[in-house]
Structure formats: C-alpha cells, structure tokens
Amino acid sequence: MRTSLRNESQTSSTAPTGKANYHCHGRMLTLSLSKQKPAKDVTKDLRPISLTPILSKVAEEFLIQEYVKPAILKEIDSCQYGSIPKSSTTQALSMVHAWTKYTDGNGSAVRVVLFDYKKAFDLIDHTILTEKLTKLDLPYEIICWIVDFLKCRKQRIKLSNDCKSEWSNVPAGVSQGTKLGPWLFILIVEDIKATNTDLWKYVDDTTIAEPVEKGR
C-alpha cells in the first residue's frame, strides 16, 4: 500500500496529504528548539523544526535517492561539504590546513571572511528555487512534485502542550526537519563562487580566504 501511494503521489505530481491538521503536507506543526537556555529572545534564540507526516518523509526519501540527489550531485562544486555523501565537518576543516600552509614560516597572513545567512532556510525564494530546479536533469513531474510540496504551506508554533500559535502562511523557505530541505538549500547557494580566493561551504555556512604576503 505504501508503494502504491508513493507511486500515485509521483504520477500525480502532488505531495501526500492526510486528514489531520499537521498531517497534511500543506500544514506543519513546528517545534521551537532553544539554541540557548534560557531563551531570551523568541525571534533569535529558537530554532524551528517542522514535523511532517511519515508518508511524506517516505515520498521525500524516494525522490531524493532516485532523482534529486543524482541531479544535484552532477552540478554541485567541490567546495560544498554539507549534506554531500562521504563529506563531513572534518573535511570542511581542511580550511585550517590551508591557512597553516599559507603562513608556515614566511610571515604571511590569511584574510578570512565568514558568511552567516540570516534565517537562511526560511527566506528561500520559491520562484528562484523553481528556476534552478528546471535547469537540473529532473523529470518535469518531479519538479512539479517539489513545487507542490513547497506551495500553500501553513505552520503553527508549539512551545508547550498548552501553548500554540494560530496557523499562518509560509510564503517562502524550505522547512527544517524535512529530508528535501538541505538538498534544496545547497542548490540555492551552489552559484556562490569566489575568484582568486579559497572557498568552503557547509550548507548555510560559507567561508572565503586568501593569503596576504608579508609587507602587502
């Protein structure tokens, strides 16, 4: 039955839906996990994690393994270490080795710029994302499925069992807590390039660096 529903979802280019409020793909119950304790500012100190239905996660996993992952890996550059198979934070830390090499006994320095995107996952423009999807080696119905998965979403915030917000529209972004989210995000930042500098990307963390010779 699960395979039948998954196939029907793919054929119709629509994400799975359910009857319960947050079991419908268009509605998400969002848990707010504290980045620090105690949380002092609800706009900065809480990380939203979306709960999506099991059937939706099964469909996402199938699409990722069969279509999304192979298509994105064809286009992704070697500077991206986040969400990439056989990559890790350890490999991303190769930047430290590079900096040490640049400055080893020669009096040089390294100029480093670190980018931290504000609300990175929440502010992705769906139009830009759709345009990028159309440039990948993806079947049309798969692109439509992803667009359907993202559109007309609503969410509510749950702080405790008796403290929930009203439902509100989600006009942009990819949901943290979904399987598709990280893959869609690295697609968005794929065209971040740097000339004459070194570049490292780990999902939404980006670092560029260049050696500065002594006396410059």
pLDDT per position as a tens digit, 93-119: 888 888 998 898 888 999 999 998 878
pLDDT at 139: 93
Please provide residue 49's backbone torsions phi and psi, each rounded to the nearest 5 degrees.
Answer: -120, 120
pLDDT at 23 over 70: no
pLDDT for the residue numbered 188: 93
Mean pLDDT of 174-199: 89
**What pLDDT, on a 0 to 100 scale, did the predictor assign at position 52?**
73
Q: Which residue has the higher pLDDT, 73 or 51?
A: 73
The pTM (predicted TM-score) of the whole model is 0.76
Long-range Cβ contact pairs of 111-118 (< 8 A, separation 24 or more):
111/209, 111/210, 111/211, 111/212, 112/207, 112/208, 112/209, 113/207, 113/208, 113/209, 114/205, 114/206, 114/207, 115/205, 115/206, 115/207, 115/208, 116/204, 116/205, 117/204, 117/206
